[in-house]
Structure 1
Amino acid sequence: MERSVQGAFGAVTIDGKIWNQIALRPIIPIGKISLALDIVFYIDQDGNIHDDEWDFSSGEKSKNSIIDKIYYIRYGKNWDPFYFQIGALDHVTMGHGILVNNYSNTILYPQVRKVGMEAKFQAFGLDFYGFTNDFKENFGLTGLRVSGPAPGGIKVGGSIALDRNQYLGLKDSDSDGRPDLVDDFPNNSNYWLDTDGDGLADVLSEELDIDGDGITDTLDSDVPGWPLDTSIVLDTDIIRKPEPLNVDEKVRSISALSFDVSKRILTEKNMNVSIYAQFAALIGETTDPISGRDTTLGTGIIPFGLSTKLGPARFNFEYRMMPSGRFEFGYWDRSYEIERATFTSTNAGSLTGADVGQIITKDSRLGKFGKQKGYFSTLSIDLGSMIGASMSYQNLFGQQWDDTSNSFIEDRNQSFIASIGLKKPISKITSARWYYQQRNVPNPFEFEFTESTISGYRIGIKLGNGMILNYIFRQSFRDIDGDGKVNGPEETINMTSIETSFSF
């Protein structure tokens, strides 16, 4: 690969605000290694620079800002015997996907920039694979897999995955340990509590009425014009918001292991057929919706799986079982970084406009799944030489928690994922892709959005003189108010980017 520089300019949406973008991405070959940097400036209409990417105010923030400049470091291709890539991870799957299936660390880019790694190599007659989601999290989410041949033409494999602290997925702008979702002062590391929402921190002497009930808490020297040396307590029943989560002090981890066996039963020209089976266990705790207490996570079994390739088509079919529930197939998927940790809120009684709540991790919600079984299928097909498409569908049936009746009922647990895109340019359209995902809902075809819903598209149009106009849109959702539903613009995450890229 030759040394080159790619550039881009345009506009991008970050946290609901439009920023002008200027980016340079130099590609530097070092032997068989390719290093690409991502040097980007986001500038608003007033000329202010988005400083998250250029924050050197502390050692930790300096480290993160430097890591963010890595677009990728790559050796080889992912089908080579030895391969590694540091940077964006878009389609991470381990084995047949019972634990990690199409995980991506770019789903919140550019609002959240993650620099992960995946690598694979062969040694001792075995295949080794590993990944981590983000070096800034110091190996927050990590997966390892080993597979190899066994007698009789059988291939066996084992995988482990660990998220050492699911709270690391929450944005903390001021690095005070309190995530922005529960930090009343997300850009000030000195304060994080404002019970009555009046803009004054509870600990400030100027805050004379902490709970906003109209009664001055204490008459003392902090009150302007107070003439006495003594203090008089007026409000004896001050209601305060609880201390928010501090991710530097509290950890909630989840791990998992899986085993699989497979065998190729037919190999012909442009055709092969394999069968496989998988077992996985999630290790950790979830909340029992009946008792409200913690209970152990469950297991998932795929006693029979079929994988076929016939010319341009690939088809998979699986029979799936959750013997005790409290499990999710493909737990680490494309939307994991959104569902990893979210917020649930309740109104704090008499507090004026103050909502209090707690951070809810994805594993804590698995208790809603009871004993279930059903099937999963996926089809990928090339429509001629121009278009590629894929579709996946899961249909499980069994016990599922119903919030209305406060009991387990018999219901369906369905997922639907689809994508279609160009394989090569058509006239001036250099690239085009559309995708949609919704997982673990009673009926995905009602298109009622949840935090597992992701959709988007990307179109590239050739302008001439080596310049390409890229239009990128992605929509996802986050349940900010914790009511179990996503609605309104505050809970919709729209990422729009219009950029013109070029090389020189």
Structure 2
Amino acid sequence: MPLLIVLTAGIAAAQDSLRVGSDVDFRTVLSGLFGTVTVDGAQWQRMVLRPRLVAGKFDAVLDIELFIDEKGRFRDRGWDFDTRTAGFESILRKIHYLQYGDLDREEDRVYVRVGALENVTLGYGLIMSDYRNTLDEPGVKKTGLDIAVRDVSAWSVGVRLIVNDFLDLSRGGALIGARMSARPILYPNEMGVGRLEVGLTAVADVDQFEGLRGLRLPSRPRRDAVGMAGVDAAYPIWDREHARLTLYGQYARLVDRNGVQGEGFGAPGLHLILGPLRARAEYRRFSDHFRPQYFDDLYEKSRARYDEARQTAFTKASALTDTSMRGIYGDARLSLGPVLTASAAYQRLSGQGGATNQRFIARAALAQAFLKRIPYLSQASAYYEKYNIDTRQTGFFDSTLDTFYGYILAVDISQDVAVVWDTRYTFAPGPTLRRNKVLNIQAVAHF
């Protein structure tokens, strides 16, 4: 059982706040991290100085790193400028994230983020849902791009562009997503804005084998691309101040040059917002190899894998089965105020010959207000995800390549010091299924 242990000490060394003018709040925070990480199969020490600057809508966090290898030698990772490519990578490693605006604030019409990407969903998620480029951190660091512009013109036109990693892009193997949406003034509301929203979404992985770039392979596989493109439409059939019910539908098509094909419908669908509850349900129908939410939060691990026993590299697209399916999907998120936040998603599809495809996701986290009532405990959350469940072959909760779960616990050992356990489990192919355990133990001190 491979075990990666990361011991991190975080120290809030300095924090200053300055208000510039009447609207801009200028703040700086300096923290330090020290830990053990796995680099090229060896245990290295990683030291990070992490300054943060917040100025109005702008938020920047940098990582100034030093590495010491298993023999006690300082390495030039992050400081290699001998070639243009190495210098570019060294510069990118110093960016944790740079951000302007906030997607959750409706008044922010422009949003830009460079660096770590989390929970990226395009449209209603039939193509890309909850994608992130941070799955392999801290060992592998990706610097992505997320740009969104919305509410342009009387039609409320919105545009969004996603790039998973600038290094992947420079090597010609990036994951790129784009979306355009609009509200044509066909059925205007009381504000004169169209109620009907239509959108176009396209996502392409230019080279799936870019996911194996860090591995030492006997030979480099040929470039293999995959993509999806689709449309969607939504219309609110009930709209109140704290409640909304939206009717929607979505369609997408799988594009691949190796004979992998198919199309998918998610319609009709209902999206409910009712106070602290967010819920969604839809009927789904897919043909051939098409599978929904293809670019998900595990995609950076599943886009390409290497089977050491067979010495074979394979892509996620090549592992898709040619089976048309139909069924239902639903998800819900509930915030119980000062107690907890919980979410769950479930999909059940069935096809010819008794074939099934299920998906189950569950997450929960205790709220800070509730944690204050529990001595010493300052954070508690857990999650479980499993995709492509076929109960003809394995049990519903039996681990497979598409299983991912873990938990985070934080215990206060004094007023200013806490210890955080972050444990994750993933699985890799081999003669038998291999479980990888990633354990991050973090000590955080505030002064």
TM-score (norm 1): 0.74
CA apart distance, 1:464: 4.3
Moved more, 453-462 or 129-138: 453-462
Paired position in structure 2 for 1:433: 381
Cα distance in 1 for residues equivalent to 2:282 and 2:135:
27
User: 1:351-391: CA deviations, max 9, x gaps?
Assistant: xxxx664321111122x141100001111112332310111
Distance 1:45 1:326, change over 3 A: closer
Cα distance in 1 for residues equivalent to 2:143 and 2:445:
24
Task: Select which of 424, 439, 449 maps to 2:368.
Answer: 424
Cα distance in 2 for residues equivalent to 1:279 and 1:437:
25
**Amino acid corresponding to residue 347 of structure 2 in structure 1:** Q
User: 1:436-493: CA deviations, max 9, x gaps?
Assistant: 11101213863222222111222233444644322211111121x3x6xx52xxx332
CA apart distance, 1:96: 0.3
User: 1:159-186: CA deviations, max 9, x gaps?
Assistant: 11111111111133xxxxxx42x23xxx
* Structure 1 residues 311-390: aligned runs within 5 Å: 311-322=275-286, 324-344=287-307, 357-366=311-320, 368-390=321-343
Answering whether residue 295 of structure 2 is matched by residue 267 of structure 1, we say: no
Of structures 1 and 2, the larger Rg is shown by 1
TM-score (norm 2): 0.82
Residue aligned with 2:91, SS: helix
Paired position in structure 1 for 2:5: none
Number of residue pairs the alignment of both structures matches:
399
- Structure 1: which 5+ runs fail to align? 173-178, 184-243, 286-293, 346-354, 400-408
**Amino acid corresponding to residue 100 of structure 1 in structure 2:** M
Cα distance in 2 for residues equivalent to 1:21 and 1:455:
25
Distance 1:116 1:306, change over 3 A: same
Paired position in structure 2 for 1:72: 97
Cα distance in 1 for residues equivalent to 2:363 and 2:70:
35
CA contact (8 A) 1:13 1:497 kept: no
Task: Select which of 141, 159, 175 maps to 1:141.
Answer: 175
Distance 1:42 1:503, change over 3 A: farther
* Structure 1 residues 62-461: aligned runs within 5 Å: 62-79=87-104, 80-122=108-150, 123-124=152-153, 125-138=156-169, 140-150=174-184, 151-152=186-187, 153-172=195-214, 179-180=215-216, 182-183=217-218, 244-245=219-220, 250-285=222-257, 294-322=258-286, 324-344=287-307, 357-366=311-320, 368-399=321-352, 409-424=353-368, 426-427=371-372, 428-443=376-391, 446-461=396-411
User: 1:210-254: CA deviations, max 9, x gaps?
Assistant: xxxxxxxxxxxxxxxxxxxxxxxxxxxxxxxxxx225xxx32111
**Amino acid corresponding to residue 495 of structure 1 in structure 2:** V
Paired position in structure 1 for 2:17: none
CA apart distance, 1:13: 5.4
Paired position in structure 2 for 1:25: 50
CA apart distance, 1:420: 0.5
Residue aligned with 2:27, SS: coil
Identity %: 29
**Amino acid corresponding to residue 244 of structure 2 in structure 1:** N
Residue aligned with 2:259, SS: strand
**Amino acid corresponding to residue 314 of structure 2 in structure 1:** I
User: 1:246-288: CA deviations, max 9, x gaps?
Assistant: 5xxx321112111000011112343211110000011114xxx
Distance 1:379 1:37, change over 3 A: same
Cα distance in 2 for residues equivalent to 1:494 and 1:382:
30
User: 1:403-426: CA deviations, max 9, x gaps?
Assistant: xxxxxx322110101110123251
Structure 1 vs Structure 2 CA RMSD? 2.4
CA apart distance, 1:121: 1.0
Distance 1:494 1:50, change over 3 A: farther
CA apart distance, 1:11: 4.3
Cα distance in 2 for residues equivalent to 1:310 and 1:65:
47
Distance 1:5 1:424, change over 3 A: same
Distance 1:500 1:23, change over 3 A: farther
Moved more, 303-312 or 15-24: 15-24
Paired position in structure 1 for 2:63: 38
